[in-house]
Structure 1
Amino acid sequence: MERSLYGTARGLAQPLIAGLVTALVGFSASFALVVVGLRAVGADQRQAVSALLASCLAVGGLAIWYGIRRRQPISIAWSTPGAALLAAAGRQHGGYPAAVGAFAVAGLLIVLTGLSGRLVGWIGRIPGPITSALLAGVLLPLCLAPVRAAVQLPALALAPIAVWLLLSRIARRWAAPAALAVALVEVAVHHNGRLGGSGAGLLPRFDFTVPTVSLGALVGIALPLYVITMAAQNLPGQAVLRGFGYDVELRPALLGTGAATTAGAPLGVFGVCLAAISAALSAGPDAHPDPRRRWIASVTAGVVYIALGLSAALATSLLAVTPPLLIEAVAGLALMSTFGSALAAAVSGPDHREAAAITFAVSASGISVLSIGASFWGLVCGLAVLAIQRAGIRSKTVKELA
């Protein structure tokens, strides 16, 4: 009897620990990037706190709902590539309210995709190298930040970089969180623990922003945010789950995450989606030997995300007194592996290499034309070059056959 109870407790502890690790790694590795992205599009500290809190509640609530209802380890996250996109997009005409309107529209596009399988097919037909090049272009400025910080802020930046390098070899999943922890400890020591100087306080609160419609924000934020979230999060997230043997339908996940994004946009929710990289932490054998028990891990992660949301004000207060370049550097360290993978995928095939290179170059350029950011123009230019190349190949083939 005692052995049976011990075995049950041990079997329950494994998915609980896996869920805790999933949430801690997912939150700590990217929340700084979320704040950077929100501040870039015009959010003040109160609005950033509200966005982080609302996003955690949405992520946690949906993870609990899907896990309990479907008994599958369906991990939910915010769109990390989407946050990087916001950081690259910068302030829009119309300010933060226009960006909030773009968040809501991106969520509506996700809902429409869930209602129409045709839209999933359209996104799926965008060549992988093009979407990978778009992602790499969006990430490049952030991945250059550690280099600039090492030169401009060596006293603060070198220690987090060294910790990241060390743990990348021995405990990769903890490398980015540890680098962030070192940076925040340095800042806290430098300020003698005095936080919250900007008036936001240390208690999390919702801050409602009335969305406005701006053509520049719709084209420069909403459309690229939708494409990059679908291509870099939702579709790979489904693939990860299927790779572990779970037949997960994409439609319910799109409807739920899209609706949560749209409903939460006035509070700052910019993109709730399926987890991709961190999904393996809850869905893999490390979560539990029995695949039927791994849903406990994703539900646990949801509970922890909600708890972490309560620390939103403290987290953003720490970041508020941190040099912006140091925040960007830590975010860049967390994204370095994703950047490398995206860049490798972008140039892997010779048929798309030139179009992908142009997509990457334009997306990374930081240009703004007609108040529309570089990511949109990168996607347009890459697809246009690809279409021209394919038209030329078809024309040549027809002449040869004639």
Structure 2
Amino acid sequence: MTGTAPAAEATETARSHALVAGVVCGLVGYTSSFAVVLAGLRAVGASPAEATSGLTLLSLTMGLGCVVFSWRTRMPITLAWSTPGAALLASAAVPAGGWPAAVGAFLAAGLLLALLALVRPLARLVAAIPTELASAMLAGVLLVLCVAPFRALAADPAVIAPVVVVWALALVLVRRWAVPLALVAAVAVVLVAGSPGDLGLHDLAPVLTWTTPALDPGALLAIAVPLVVVTTTSQNLPGLAVLRSFGYEPDPRPPLLYAGAATAAAAPFGAHAINLAAISAALAAGPEAGPDPRRRWPAGVACGVTYLVCGALTPFVVAVASASPAGLLESIAGLALLGTLAASGATALGPTEHREAAALTLAVAASGVSIAGIGGAFWGLVAGGTLLALLRLRGRRARAA
């Protein structure tokens, strides 16, 4: 009996560690990037009701996936919305076909992501895109968004300065909570300088809004294709790498298939994409969830439950964002993406072999150019890929000579 009590106590301690880590994973994942997702949905034409619907479905589908796969596999498998994909949307323009065309692109992206999970040659084809080019495309998109806080700071320092100062101090003292604390500061700014009377707190029940998808070729090239590329290369593949780095070897096809299918099913309600968690995955799969990797899986379940609760609170979150002064939401999104910009830029411009092609990709993606209604992210990938192919051809001819 004396040996049983310490063992039970150790098990309970391990479970509590995992549960706390999972809740932190969910809270950080949601609060640190919801502004990016909201800004992205708005940029491609979503109304406040449609954006609320999309955020709600994203939270519910990724929460359900976390619970189901962590429970069944006994591994801390976590899902998240595609933050790089949302950043891509935030730098895009409303398609010629409007919001229905954007929804059609979300649907197509979900189907393509599901196919990548089922058809290995397709997955290898996407994986064959040089990481440097995919990172450069993402960095170009993020660059446009990450300058927003500082432009807004110059235009309205009284509103933006408190948020930037809180973010900077938190980044030094409690790095993980920098964006959530900046979000708290933003809420305080809304209450003081915004329009709190417009919050509409009398009607906070989640409501799903259906949009019939429209398949528009321009939107498919400008939104769906880059969305699949950045979601696969910046989220799904790194997410698997994070799990493997902590000793987990899950079969990747079921969660990836679920993510693609859930994206397609939720697209008509405004959801852009979900995927395997990458950065936040370490919170649930790493030592912070407990010393024994076999007992960390409750962290994935707790993360999923946290997402489900956050999904129910989405109308309040969107109401606060809608009442915020001009530039505040974009500033939160830009601050949240600075770390991703640094990582993607370092990956893009590191190896000398691909540096020129990556720099071209970054420049075109950041230029905001639009040709035939298709934005710079797609053309950046085309330009960089073409230059890289020509450089490789020249190299082969030089070696042959």
TM-score, shorter chain, exceeding 0.5: yes
Contact 2:159–2:193 (8 Å) recurs in 1:
no
- Structure 1 residues 273-325: Cα deviation after superposition (integer angstroms, max 9, x where no partner): 00000000000011011111111001100001000001111000111111342
Give, in whole Å, the separation in 1 of the partners of 2:19 and 2:373.
Answer: 47
2:41 is aligned, of 29, 38, 42, to 38
Equivalent residue for 1:141?
Answer: 144
Equivalent residue for 1:273?
Answer: 275
Give, in whole Å, the separation in 2 of the partners of 1:375 and 1:114.
Answer: 24
Look up the equivalent residue of 2:86 and give its one-letter code.
Answer: A
2:7 aligned with 1:9: no
* Residue segments in structure 2 that go unaligned for 5+ positions in a row: none
Deviation at 1:16, TM superposition (A): 0.7
> What is the 5 A alignment of 1:186-197?
186-191=189-194, 193-197=196-200
Equivalent residue for 1:113?
Answer: 116
Structure 1 pair 200/55, CA: closer, same or farther in 2 (3 Å)? farther
1:56 is aligned, of 47, 55, 59, to 59
Contact 1:57–1:309 (8 Å) recurs in 2:
yes
Deviation at 1:200, TM superposition (A): 9.6
Contact 1:144–1:332 (8 Å) recurs in 2:
yes
Look up the equivalent residue of 2:41 and give its one-letter code.
Answer: L
Look up the equivalent residue of 2:93 and give its one-letter code.
Answer: G
Give, in whole Å, the separation in 2 of the partners of 1:337 and 1:196.
Answer: 31
Deviation at 1:93, TM superposition (A): 0.8
2:114 aligned with 1:100: no
Contact 1:46–1:200 (8 Å) recurs in 2:
no
Equivalent residue for 1:157?
Answer: 160
- Structure 1 residues 32-84: Cα deviation after superposition (integer angstroms, max 9, x where no partner): 11110000000001001111111100010011110111111111000000000
- Structure 1 residues 105-129: Cα deviation after superposition (integer angstroms, max 9, x where no partner): 0010011111111122112211111
Q: Among all aligned residue pairs of Structure 1 and Structure 2, give the percentage whose two residues are the same amino acid.
A: 47
Give, in whole Å, the separation in 2 of the partners of 1:247 and 1:5.
Answer: 28
Equivalent residue for 1:76?
Answer: 79
Deviation at 1:192, TM superposition (A): 6.8
Structure 1 outlier segments of 4+, above 6 Å: none
Look up the equivalent residue of 2:204 and give its one-letter code.
Answer: L
SS at match of 2:197: coil
Give, in whole Å, the separation in 1 of the partners of 2:392 and 2:14.
Answer: 55
Look up the equivalent residue of 2:72 and give its one-letter code.
Answer: R
Q: How many pairs align?
A: 398
2:312 aligned with 1:310: yes
Give, in whole Å, the separation in 1 of the partners of 2:338 and 2:260.
Answer: 28
Give, in whole Å, the separation in 2 of the partners of 1:248 and 1:147.
Answer: 42
2:291 is aligned, of 289, 307, 318, to 289
SS at match of 2:344: helix
CA RMSD between the two structures: 1.4
* Residue segments in structure 1 that go unaligned for 5+ positions in a row: none
Equivalent residue for 2:70?
Answer: 67
> What is the 5 A alignment of 1:278-357?
278-357=280-359
Give, in whole Å, the separation in 2 of the partners of 1:204 and 1:47.
Answer: 11
Deviation at 1:252, TM superposition (A): 1.5
Contact 1:208–1:266 (8 Å) recurs in 2:
yes
Give, in whole Å, the separation in 1 of the partners of 2:202 and 2:35.
Answer: 17
